[in-house]
Amino acid sequence: MRMRPTLSWAPTQDWPSATTDLEPVTDALSTGGVLVLSGAGISTESGIPDYRGEGGSLSRHTPMTYQEFTADDRARRRYWARSHLGWRTFGRALPNAGHRAVAAFGRHGLLTGVITQNVDGLHQTAGSESVVELHGSLERVACLSCGTFSPRRELAERLEEANAGFDPVAAAINPDGDADLTDEQVGDFRVLPCRLCGGILKPDVVFFGENVPPQRVEHCRTLVREATSLLVLGSSLTVMSGLRFVRLAVEAGKPVLIINRDPTRGDRHAVTRVALPLGTALTTVAERLGAPMKE
């Protein structure tokens, strides 16, 4: 599956209206077998901005594409300088009530799994199991030449040593861990190669314009087919990598429920969209279901 660099989407006038009624979500979870599909919106309450919501990063920032990253060493220098600075903040983010509620649903046997479009690892930190990271994880680094994976923290330590004194003030941190820096702030930031073969290092995340591994996609399709319903949390579903699972669920006769404050590209396929903050909404549902959340 290739991630299309779709950066914007707008609903038409006849788009379905939203509700604040959480009963359909509570009812779906009470029967179990729910598959969660989460997006950047679930992490905003952890201090990580989303892409397309109010104040979203796409209003000021265009994500790096795979083609640009692999073809241009200046682009890689810019990316790694920004990503290294962003990692310092990104790596300190903690799960919020939304993540903890999803973990509580899982502990009580209400979920079949979690597919997340996020690369922050906060679902796992909150205690969720069986999480499929559709777009990868910032916790790992891959060599594009020899295929070796290594911990991001290991590379961060190497970059700190190679770029002593690098400490610019970023305008903002983005959902992919990228920090907003000017070219002057990037300066002559030193990019490091793979220790084993000298190849190009890239975070183990799917850039815009890059393919999601086919086996990962097929695994997600299987999860959708096996679920009783699909619950979308904090995703605009603008990119096809997430929207196609909504369409697959509908084709398979599985109800789709969405919690997202703004309209999504999947609203026409959903039985309901709840326009409430995720932390508040999911905490309420957890309380109704008697699924206590861990701090």
8 is in an annotated binding site: no
Question: What is the length of the chain?
Answer: 295
Strands 136-143 and 201-205 come out as: antiparallel
**Residue from 123, 135, 219, 269 carrying the catalytic annotation:** 135
Residue 52, marked binder: yes
Residue 122, marked binder: no
Q: Judge whether 110 is annotated as a binding position.
A: no
Q: Name residue 228's amino acid.
A: T
Q: Does the annotation flag 43 for ligand binding? A: yes
Residue 220 assigned as binding residue: no
79: burial class by Cβ within 10 Å (0-12, 13-18, 19+)? Answer: buried
Report whether 197 belongs to an annotated binding site: yes
Instruction: Confirm or deny that 178 is annotated as ligand binding.
Output: no
146 known ligand binder:
yes
Question: 50 a known binding residue?
Answer: yes
Active site residue 135: yes
CA distance 294 to 107: 11
Ligand-binding annotation for 119, yes or no, is yes
- Whether residue 46 is annotated as binding a ligand: the answer is yes
Q: Measured between alpha carbons, how far is 84 from 76 in angstroms, rounded to an integer?
A: 12
Is 56 annotated to bind a ligand? Reply is yes
- Answer yes or no: is 42 a known binding residue: yes
Known binding residues for NAD(+)? 39-59, 117-120, 234-236, 278
The residues annotated with a catalytic role in the active site are: 135
Binding residues for Zn(2+): 143, 146, 194, 197
Q: Which residues define the annotated binding site? A: 39-59, 117-120, 143, 146, 194, 197, 234-236, 278
